[in-house]
Amino acid sequence: MKPRTDVFDAHKRAAVMAAVKGADTKPEMAVRRLCHALGYRYRLHRRDLPGRPDLVFGPRKKAVFVHGCFWHGHDCARGARVPKANRDYWTAKIARNRARDQSALAELEKRGWRTLVIWECEMKDRAALAARLAAFLEGEKA
**Domains in the chain: boundaries:** 22-137
Q: Give the global pTM.
A: 0.84
Are the CB atoms for 35 and 42 separated by under 8 Å? yes
What number of other Cβ atoms are within 10 A of residue 126's Cβ?
A: 12
Strands 62-67 and 114-119: parallel
Are the CB atoms for 84 and 141 separated by under 8 Å? no
Q: Provide mean pLDDT across the span 93-109.
A: 96
Q: Provide mean pLDDT across the span 81-89.
A: 87
- Give the whole-angstrom CA distance, residue 42 versus residue 59: 9
**In this structure, which CATH number among 3.40.960.10, 3.40.50.720, 3.40.50.2300, 3.90.580.10 belongs to the domain 22-137?**
3.40.960.10
Q: Provide mean pLDDT across the span 105-122.
A: 96
Three-state DSSP at 62 gives: strand
